Amino acid sequence: MLKTQTSLSTWSQERNMKWLVLLGLVTFSECIVKIPLRRVKTMRKTLSGKNILNNFLKEHAYRLSQISSCGSNLTFHPLRNIKDRLYVGNITIGTPPQEFQVIFDTGSSDLWVTSVFCTSPTCSTHVMFRHFDSSTFRPTKKTFSINYGSGRMKGVVVHDTVRIGDLVSTDQPFGLSVVELGFDGIPFDGVMGLNYPKLSFSGAIPIFDNLRNQGAISEPVFAFYLSKDEQEGSVVMFGGVDHRYYKGELNWIPLIQAGDWSVHMDSISMKRKVIACSGGCKAVVDTGTSLIEGPRRLVNNIQKLIRAMPRGSEYYVSCSAVNTLPPIIFTIKGINYPVPAQAYILKDSRGHCYTTFKEDRLSPPSTETWILGDVFLRRYFSVFDRGNDRIGLARAV
């Protein structure tokens, strides 16, 4: 049930001005629900034939017995694969609902969208949340900031009703950005963090936890199937797993520790020779990262092995080499997960081929850490099991 609150439009002028001043003073401080993430023609266009797709998937739902045991509701939602760079899906916030395209990100824990108070040039290209149009909006005085690999933001924590398809989280805390830096040219309106609560920079309870606490999700599980560019059918599932999206059995990998989607990786190899992670290392499974990232020295070594040449910020190879370059194999808990050259080499807008290995600048140098982003996850269906603190991987169909 929606909680009815005082409409912001009826607030007194004095209270409205106090909140404006607050935003201006913000400074940086360092059961199964299935949502198809479908490529659409425009960022704002709703999927046509949506009801037909919903009915079909409801009739063909499947859930793993070791994860799910009760009845389920199914919700479906379009998402766009933007040139294999990122995946965004629409959510709504407020009463009446306002729609936003956000990145579903297992690498972070905060939900935020752009606010009407954001003055950064990037914000003018995003849909902005109009708090004064929502009758369920509730402000707070708490501020926060987040640094991402591609940019950073600062904002203020607020509360409102958030919907992911048919999933509804009432009085959900989330962030409204007032400054965004480094996100130029990225077509999104915000981020939906799906990591553990302890990684929240805003201190707000993540939406997955709130949905679970409110009884909207029967089991603490979600999963991703990410399609290739120009293909439809990307799916994120909440509350269970559909076996039609992967081949064989799921391989379960325990987290290094509860509280972060990180696992132990045995090695990275090519042509039966270990080329990185020689003594074992940390691997972060991150749907919000498009590439495969690691320590600079080891990434540079991989670029040399595949004969990639630097050009600006990218490393390029001859497009004809894609058919001869060997797969790079990520071994996790004794299981090999090969990523072929057709997956780790992509084409840019000019038709030139670049590698998808990149230096990770955020992880501490004391520990070898690799981020397995969308390049890896397009090959492997991934299950995030909060109930058992583990990740499941299987070959995607």
Strand, helix or coil for residue 159: strand
Place of tokens 């909680």: 3
Average pLDDT over residues 285-313: 95
Residues of the chain with CATH 2.40.70.10: 75-235, 242-396
Give the C-alpha separation, 202 to 350, whole Å: 40
Question: In the chain, pLDDT over 70 holds for what percent of residues?
Answer: 79
Residue among 305, 318, 105, 99 at smallest CA distance from 189: 99
Say what the pTM is.
0.83
Residue 241's pLDDT is 87
Distances in whole angstroms, Cα of residue 125 to Cα of each of 16, 48, 254: 25, 25, 40
pLDDT of residue 36: 54
Q: What is the mean pLDDT of the chain?
A: 84
Report the CATH number of the 75-235 domain: 2.40.70.10
- Is the pLDDT assigned to residue 57 strictly greater than 50? no
Residues 6 or more apart in contact with residue 274 via CB below 8 angstroms: 267, 268
- Sign of the CA dihedral 187, 290, 193, 225? positive
User: Two tokens at 385?
Assistant: 């099991």
φ, ψ for residue 246, nearest 5 deg: -145, 160
Q: Which of 73-82, 97-106, 202-211, 381-390 has the lowest mean pLDDT?
A: 73-82
Question: What does the pLDDT average to over 243-262?
Answer: 95
For residue 364, cis peptide bond before it (omega within 30 degrees of 0): no
**Which among 276, 300, 290 has a CA at the least distance from the CA of 375?**
290
For the ranges 62-76, 105-119, 350-364, which has the lowest average pLDDT?
62-76
What whole-number distance in Å separates Cα of residue 9 and Cα of residue 26? 23
Q: Which residues are catalytic?
A: 105, 286
If you search the block for the tokens 């949506």, which residue do you land on? 50
The span from the CA of 160 to the CA of 131, in Å, is 9
CA pair distance 146, 151, nearest whole angstrom: 9
Element (H, E) at 246: strand 246-254
Rg (CA), the chain: 21
Among 82, 108, 34, 105, CA closest to 287: 105
Alpha helix positions (H), the chain: 13-24, 50-59, 207-213, 296-305, 341-344, 374-377
> Measured between alpha carbons, how far is 279 from 191 in angstroms, rounded to an integer?
34
Is the pLDDT at 368 greater than 80? The verdict is yes
Q: What is the CB neighbour count within 10 angstroms for residue 45?
A: 11
Q: Produce one character per residue of 147-162: b if its CB has 16 or more CB atoms within 10 Å, e if not.
A: ebbeebbbbbbbbbbb
Give the pLDDT confidence of 119-172 residue by residue, as tens digits: 999 999 999 999 999 999 999 999 999 999 889 999 999 999 999 988 999 999
pLDDT beyond 80 at 319 = yes
pLDDT attached to residue 365:
78
> Are residues 101 and 59 in contact, defined by beta-carbon separation less than 8 angstroms?
no
pLDDT band at 230 (very low <50, low <70, confident <90, very high): low
Query: Could you tell me the pLDDT band of residue 186, with boundaries at 50, 70 and 90?
Result: confident
Q: What is the CATH number of domain 242-396?
A: 2.40.70.10
What is the share, in percent, of the chain residues with pLDDT greater than 90? 66
